[in-house]
Amino acid sequence: VDMRMWEERPFVFIQELSFAPDPVRPPSVLDSPSVESMEVRLTGPKVLIYHTHTSENYLGRAGVSNQPRQAHYQFRNMADPTITGVMAVGRHLSNALTSLGVQTVHESRIHTLPTINSSYSNSEKTVREILSKQKDFDMVIDLHRDAGVPNPTVVINGREVARLVLVVGTAQNIPLSHPNFQ
């Protein structure tokens, strides 16, 4: 893989009101409202952020077999309250969008247990459940750490920030164009 292309890619940095670290609290307390209360709390544009690979971390290099505990956080159980790695990036993105007036739900249910192999089926169940109760999201984002680059972070304006990739896709039976996507 030729990594030179990554140096040329533009990055957008959305600053939050504060980057002070939050105390580690259970996702139900830290993140957005429960599915049951979404309808009352959401008005205007709506974005759902979730993570198929909730364990993705920004320590170590992904795919390096001798460093799996650094590339992925090891959740103890489904009720593990830790918000780390890509879930923390999702929380920051949610806060930034909210500060811009975009109503955002950040779903932090753990999908990588019992193994990472069950992530996609677990996250599909989560998203189907949420969308069955709240149908009017304008955008659904499955936020992943960008694993295909040499470094998990990049420096922008002197600040080290998480590197991520947005993959714009549509269902095969709903062909939509994305003329401004680069």
Residue 126: which pLDDT band, with cuts at 50, 70 and 90? very high
- Tell me if 140 is assigned to some domain: yes
| Domain with 155 in it | 26-162
20 located within any domain? no
Task: Count the domains in the chain.
Answer: 1
Residue ranges of alpha helices (H) inside the chain are 4-8, 27-30, 38-41, 68-71, 85-99, 119-133
Residue 9 lies in a domain: no
Helix spans in 45-117 (H): 68-71, 85-99
Instruction: For residues 92 and 159, give the distance between their C-alpha atoms in angstroms, rounded to a whole number.
Output: 15
Q: pLDDT for 88-101, tens place per residue?
A: 888 888 998 998 88
pLDDT at 53: 84
**pTM: predicted TM-score of the whole model, two decimal places:** 0.62
pLDDT of residue 17: 36
87 and 108 Cβ atoms separated by less than 8 Å: yes
Q: Enumerate the β-bridge partners of residue 122.
A: none
Bridge partners, 141 (sequence order): 49
Where residue 104 falls among pLDDT bands split at 50, 70, 90? very high
Residue 151 lies in a domain: yes
Residues listed for the chain: 182
- Tens of pLDDT, residue by residue over 32-50, are 444 444 443 445 668 999 9
**pLDDT 10s digits, 60-77:** 554 444 444 456 666 677
Distance CA 58, CA 53 (A): 13
pLDDT of residue 59: 63
- Any idea what DSSP says for residue 140? E
Q: Specify the higher pLDDT residue, 44 or 20.
A: 44
